[in-house]
């Protein structure tokens, strides 16, 4: 009796855990021969992350409107629940004869390479792609979408160094990794370029991926930076950054968002956000496949192409003077012209 009941409880537990793996109903693909078929696999976090995944979804919706595709039919997406499900999800999409399949996040890089070799007819695109040691090894049906984060970080660093009243600004990174160091490098270079007297204090939340999901740690890191006299902090740390915003509210100081416009997370305390326009790159890739000019290899999105930018709109205008705005725009031009070389690492 007791054993039986325990089995039932275990079964419920297991079902609940597996139930987290959600997907869409497979739908038939009749009568869409001429319509482009797109598949997309989200990163863990999935829809509603207010960041990459949501932006990718926006890109898909734009493509749907442009090419009159039907969401859930011509365009399908999957949200893997576990890291190990990524490759399976890609294969599932590929076996549905999709023309183009997206993987959202650097973590897909190797999965995409592997699956692409088995489905040579299908095109694959990976956001934040990490290329193999030899770029010639990128499969002919894979395009890696990369962003020059350091250029955007340079601009917000310059902006922060002009807005600061204490000549001290801060940086909070998530996991210590080359990707996040790229943000720090650009940010520091930008601050020193626009205001040589400006000091930058940089803190990291940790050494593991957990460091991107630790708002309490983010708050303490930010509080200690504000305590040292800084009045603006830029974060590149996922939801750890929400703690940075909380500290900004507590101390009545400013913070800078990342990836998407984060103004609404702490209205009045967000100076600006450095954004990566994943929606633009997703749309561009659908367009390329639609127009039959897909090219494999690395595709870089930067300030020049508009894939990287910072937020300046009606919401944060009152925090940035017109003069400062002009200076930042001038710096943007210099980066685009190549007059300013932005470092992508700290050494």
Partner 1 sequence: MLEMLTWVMLAQTIRISIPYVLASLGGVYSERSGVVNIALEGIMLNGALGAVLASYYAQNAWIGILGGMGAGLLTAILLAIITIRFKADQIVSGVAINLLAIGLTKFILRLVFNSSSNSSRVEGLPIWHLPGVPMDSFWNSVIGSPLVLLTGVIILVSHIIMKKSVFGLRIRAVGEHPEAADSVGISVARMRYWGVLISGLLAGLAGTYLALEQHQFTQNMTSGRGYIALAAMIFGKWTPVGAVLASLLFGFSESLNIQFQSMGYQIPNQFIQMIPYVVTMVVLLGVIGRSVPPAADGKPYEAGN
What letter would DSSP give residue 342? P
Closer to partner 1 by Cβ: residue 146 or 251: 251
Closer to partner 1 by Cβ: residue 144 or 218: 218
Residues 263 and 254 sit within 8 Å (Cβ to Cβ): no
Map residue 92 onto helix, strand or coil: helix
Kindly tell me the burial class for residue 170, based on how many C-beta atoms sit within 10 Å of its own C-beta (0-12, 13-18, 19 or more): buried
Provide the binding-site residues for partner 1, judged by CB under 8 A: 2-3, 5-6, 9-10, 13, 16-17, 19-20, 45-51, 53, 81, 201-204, 206-207, 210-211, 213-217, 219-221, 223-225, 227-228, 239, 242-243, 246
- Shortest distance, position 72 Cβ to partner 1, whole Å: 18
- Shortest distance, position 20 Cβ to partner 1, whole Å: 4
- Shortest distance, position 233 Cβ to partner 1, whole Å: 11
- Shortest distance, position 45 Cβ to partner 1, whole Å: 5
Closer to partner 1 by Cβ: residue 66 or 82: 82
- Shortest distance, position 79 Cβ to partner 1, whole Å: 8
Closer to partner 1 by Cβ: residue 123 or 213: 213
In DSSP notation, 144-213 reads EEEE-HHHHHHHHHHHHHHH-SSSEEEEEEEE-SHHHHHHHHHHHHHHHHH-TT-EEEEEEEESSGGGGS
Map residue 142 onto helix, strand or coil: strand
Beta bridge partners of 206: 175
Number of DSSP helices (H) and strands (E) in the chain, helices first: 10, 12
- Shortest distance, position 83 Cβ to partner 1, whole Å: 13
Sign of CA pseudo-dihedral 323, 328, 329, 331: positive
Here the tokens at position 25 are 């109903």
- Shortest distance, position 249 Cβ to partner 1, whole Å: 8
Task: Tell me how far apart the alpha carbons of residues 18 and 113 are, in angstroms, rounded to a whole number.
Answer: 27
- Shortest distance, position 48 Cβ to partner 1, whole Å: 4
Closer to partner 1 by Cβ: residue 13 or 330: 13
Cα-Cα-Cα-Cα dihedral of 70, 127, 23, 30, to 10°? 30
Among all chains, which residue has been given the structure tokens 């695109």? 125
- Shortest distance, position 336 Cβ to partner 1, whole Å: 32
Closer to partner 1 by Cβ: residue 155 or 175: 175
Closer to partner 1 by Cβ: residue 186 or 238: 238
> Edge to edge, what strands does the sheet with 38-41 contain?
75-78, 38-41, 100-103, 123-127, 142-147, 297-301
Task: Tell me how far apart the alpha carbons of residues 330 and 132 are, in angstroms, rounded to a whole number.
Answer: 36
Closer to partner 1 by Cβ: residue 166 or 239: 239
Closer to partner 1 by Cβ: residue 103 or 144: 103
Here the tokens at position 339 are 């007059």
């Amino acid at each position: 009796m007791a054993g039986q009941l325990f089995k039932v409880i275990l079964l419920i537990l297991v079902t609940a855990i597996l139930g987290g793996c959600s997907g869409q109903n497979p739908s038939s693909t009749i009568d869409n021969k001429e319509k482009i078929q797109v598949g997309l696999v989200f990163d863990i976090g999935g829809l509603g992350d207010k960041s990459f995944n949501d932006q990718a979804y926006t890109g898909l919706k734009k493509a749907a409107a442009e090419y009159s595709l039907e969401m859930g039919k011509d365009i399908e997406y999957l949200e893997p629940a576990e890291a190990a499900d990524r490759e399976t999800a890609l294969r599932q999409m590929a076996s549905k004869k999709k023309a183009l399949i997206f993987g959202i996040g650097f973590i897909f890089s190797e999965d995409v390479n592997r699956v692409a070799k088995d489905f040579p007819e299908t095109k694959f695109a990976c956001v934040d792609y990490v290329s193999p040691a030899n770029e010639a090894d990128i499969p002919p049906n894979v395009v890696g979408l990369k962003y020059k984060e350091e250029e955007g970080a340079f601009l917000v660093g310059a902006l922060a160094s002009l807005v600061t009243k204490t000549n001290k600004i801060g940086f909070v990174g998530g996991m210590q990794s080359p990707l996040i160091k790229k943000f720090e490098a650009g940010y520091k270079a930008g601050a020193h370029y626009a205001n040589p007297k400006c000091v930058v204090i940089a803190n990291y939340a940790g050494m593991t991926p957990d460091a991107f999901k630790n708002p309490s740690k983010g708050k303490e890191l930010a509080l200690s930076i504000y305590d040292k006299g800084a009045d603006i902090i830029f974060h590149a740390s996922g939801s750890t950054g929400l703690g940075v915003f909380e500290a900004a509210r507590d101390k009545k100081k400013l913070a800078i968002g990342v990836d998407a416009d984060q103004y609404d997370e702490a209205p009045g305390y967000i100076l600006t956000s450095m954004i990566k326009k994943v929606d633009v790159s997703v749309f561009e890739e659908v367009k390329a496949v639609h127009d039959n000019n897909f090219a494999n290899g690395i595709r870089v999105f930067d300030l020049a192409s508009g894939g990287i930018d910072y937020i300046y709109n009606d919401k944060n205008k009152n925090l940035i003077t017109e003069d400062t705005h002009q200076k930042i725009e001038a710096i943007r031009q210099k980066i685009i012209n190549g007059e300013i070389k932005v470092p992508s690492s700290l050494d």
